[in-house]
């Protein structure tokens, strides 16, 4: 079991390039099942979850191969297997996205329930009830979702209770080959949803309203494979910015998309950091000390829940008390007890955490989920002495060689 070792209090400086977005690569991988032939994605994320997604596609009879960070997926005209097995789904929940594409193109699917994960139960009721509205018969038994539908699926008027990213993506991929005009109201606006829409349109889909809260899809009879450059990972971008910030350093981030991080940049500026933005770069300069800032996580374009833990680590070093409210997932404070092992002073009341500044001291801590592992690494960078972060398999699910990028910026960090 790998661990990450950090000797804290090194001031980070220098420049680093961002990898492709994990949360865009995954839905794009599954969208290939909508069109036979060879699909190529450039700047694809090379994290563990993407490996798992590729294994899922291979289990359906697809081929996939890498050339640098370009990933080619070859989809056969027919697939024999329609089952997404639990052993592949239990670690990578986004596999539920193959439900929509299998029903859309083949009219049948057997997808393991993705299972909860540390941050919450992660239900898929909005995916299921709306696929039923589109004519799919869906049963859930023994941990599997059994889907069957006559083809083509029927267009539907859909109104999501909340702008769920996964539900929007599943229903998009169900709608592109459905008969008629599907409308998704209160749809998610995340850049990873917009990136998927860009690729679906390159394949010949007829979609309007990407990035807004109402998406309309005019179904077409078939789609063709295409090529696409995947957007940079906004969560990795902000994680590296916060690494520069928590060490009072000065970092330049390249090959990123500043426009995807407006709220986060605003909060860092409010806290006292000087941020210069270019087309595909962000430069952060730290003040001698920075102020506490409150955040509430929300759907895009609000403050991302995937950056809540990292921002909490940063606020342990701010001047004054800050309040962090987690409004998306019901159990996303598991990093709090681990931060307290590093001498952080945090109290939680329901979905609110109160952070009081305190000098962090190195210790052995345990990652509980993907973004918590990044939070603990950031805290280790600021802590006096040595920190060991255990269970880094969580980190590898969603970050591509994060410790090497941090070492490039001058951190004393290594994997052991």
The distance of closest approach from Cβ of residue 370 to ligand EPZ in the complex, given in angstroms and rounded to an integer, is 5
Q: Is 165 in the site for ligand EPZ (CB under 6 A)?
A: yes
Closer to ligand EPZ by CB, 14 or 116: give it.
Answer: 116
Q: CA-CA distance, 347 to 370, in Å (whole number)?
A: 22
Q: Phi, psi at residue 210, to the nearest 5°?
A: -55, 135
Contact range with ligand EPZ by CB under 6 A, out of 77-85, 136-144, 157-165, 353-361? 157-165
Contact range with ligand EPZ by CB under 6 A, out of 37-45, 72-80, 117-125, 173-181? 117-125
288's CB contacts (< 8 A; 6+ apart) are 248
* Residue 117 known to be catalytic: yes
The distance of closest approach from Cβ of residue 85 to ligand EPZ in the complex, given in angstroms and rounded to an integer, is 18
Interface with ligand EPZ (CB under 6 A), residue total 23
Among 166, 232, 252, 258, binds ligand EPZ (CB under 6 A): 166
Among 10, 39, 48, 127, binds ligand EPZ (CB under 6 A): 127
Contact range with ligand EPZ by CB under 6 A, out of 132-140, 145-153, 165-173, 278-286? 165-173
**Which of 117, 256, 327, 375 is labelled catalytic?**
117
With CA atoms as reference, report the closest residue to 110 among 137, 72, 75.
Answer: 137
Q: Is 195 in the site for ligand EPZ (CB under 6 A)?
A: no
Among 65, 81, 125, 319, binds ligand EPZ (CB under 6 A): 125
The distance of closest approach from Cβ of residue 309 to ligand EPZ in the complex, given in angstroms and rounded to an integer, is 9
Among 135, 225, 244, 398, binds ligand EPZ (CB under 6 A): 398
Using left for φ > 0, alpha for ψ between -120 and 50, and beta otherwise, residue 180 falls in left
Closer to ligand EPZ by CB, 93 or 105: give it.
Answer: 93
Q: Is 302 in the site for ligand EPZ (CB under 6 A)?
A: no
Among 371, 391, 394, 405, binds ligand EPZ (CB under 6 A): 371
CB distance 138 to 128 below 8 Å: yes
Q: Is 26 in the site for ligand EPZ (CB under 6 A)?
A: yes
231's CB contacts (< 8 A; 6+ apart) are 20, 21, 24, 43, 191, 192, 195, 257, 260
Which stretches of 60-124 are DSSP H helices? 86-89, 98-106
Contacts within 8 Å (CB) and 24+ apart, 295-300: 295/267, 295/322, 295/324, 295/325, 296/324, 296/325, 296/327, 297/325, 297/326, 297/327, 297/328, 298/327, 298/328, 299/162, 299/163, 299/188, 299/189, 299/190, 299/328, 300/163, 300/188, 300/189, 300/190, 300/191
Which stretches of 187-322 are DSSP H helices? 191-202, 234-246, 262-271, 308-315
Q: Is 123 in the site for ligand EPZ (CB under 6 A)?
A: yes
* Structure-token pair, residue 14: 């220098």
Contact range with ligand EPZ by CB under 6 A, out of 116-124, 198-206, 252-260, 406-414? 116-124
Q: Is 90 in the site for ligand EPZ (CB under 6 A)?
A: no
- Is 345 strand, coil or helix? strand
The distance of closest approach from Cβ of residue 337 to ligand EPZ in the complex, given in angstroms and rounded to an integer, is 19
CB distance 249 to 42 below 8 Å: no
Residues found near ligand EPZ in the complex (CB under 6 A): 23, 26, 94, 120, 122-127, 162, 164-167, 192, 305-306, 328-329, 370-371, 398
Where in the sequence numbering do the catalytic residues fall? 117
């Amino acid at each position: 079991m790998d661990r990450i070792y950090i000797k804290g209090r090194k001031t980070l400086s220098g420049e680093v390039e961002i990898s492709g977005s994990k949360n865009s690569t995954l839905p794009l991988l599954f969208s290939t099942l909508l069109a036979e032939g060879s699909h190529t994605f450039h700047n694809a994320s090379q994290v563990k979850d993407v490996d798992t997604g590729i294994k899922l596609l291979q289990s359906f009879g697809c081929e996939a191969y890498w050339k640098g960070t370009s990933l080619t997926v070859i989809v056969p005209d027919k697939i024999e297997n329609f089952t997404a097995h639990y052993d592949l789904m239990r670690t990578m929940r986004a596999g539920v996205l193959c439900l929509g594409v299998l029903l859309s193109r083949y009219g049948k699917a057997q997808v393991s329930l993705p299972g909860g994960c540390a941050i919450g139960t992660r239900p898929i009721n909005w995916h299921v009830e709306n696929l039923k509205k589109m004519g799919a018969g869906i049963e859930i038994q023994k941990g599997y979702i059994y889907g069957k539908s006559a083809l083509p699926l029927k267009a539907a008027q859909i109104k999501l209770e909340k702008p769920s990213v996964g539900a929007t993506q599943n229903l998009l991929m169900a709608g592109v080959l459905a008969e008629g005009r599907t409308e998704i109201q209160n749809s998610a606006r995340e850049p990873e949803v917009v990136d998927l829409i860009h690729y679906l349109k390159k394949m010949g889909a007829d979609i309007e309203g990407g990035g807004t809260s109402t998406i309309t899809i005019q179904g077409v009879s078939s789609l063709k494979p295409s090529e696409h450059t995947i957007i940079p990972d906004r969560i990795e971008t902000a994680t590296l910015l916060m690494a520069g910030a928590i060490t009072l350093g000065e970092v330049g981030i390249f090959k990123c998309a500043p426009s995807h991080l407006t709220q986060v940049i605003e909060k860092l500026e409010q806290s006292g950091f000087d941020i210069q933005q270019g087309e595909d770069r962000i430069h952060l300069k730290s003040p001698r000390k920075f102020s506490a800032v409150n955040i509430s996580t929300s759907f895009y374009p609000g403050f991302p829940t995937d950056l809540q833990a990292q921002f909490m680590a940063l606020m342990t070093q701010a001047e004054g008390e800050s309040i962090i409210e987690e409004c998306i997932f019901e159990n996303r404070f598991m990093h709090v007890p681990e931060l307290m092992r590093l001498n952080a002073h945090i109290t939680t009341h329901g979905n609110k955490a109160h952070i009081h500044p305190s000098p962090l001291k190195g210790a052995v801590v345990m990652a509980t989920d993907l973004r918590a592992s990044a939070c603990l690494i950031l805290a280790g960078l600021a802590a006096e002495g040595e920190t060991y972060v255990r269970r880094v398999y969580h980190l590898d699910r969603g970050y591509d060689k994060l410790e090497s990028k941090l070492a490039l910026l001058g951190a004393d960090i290594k994997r052991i």
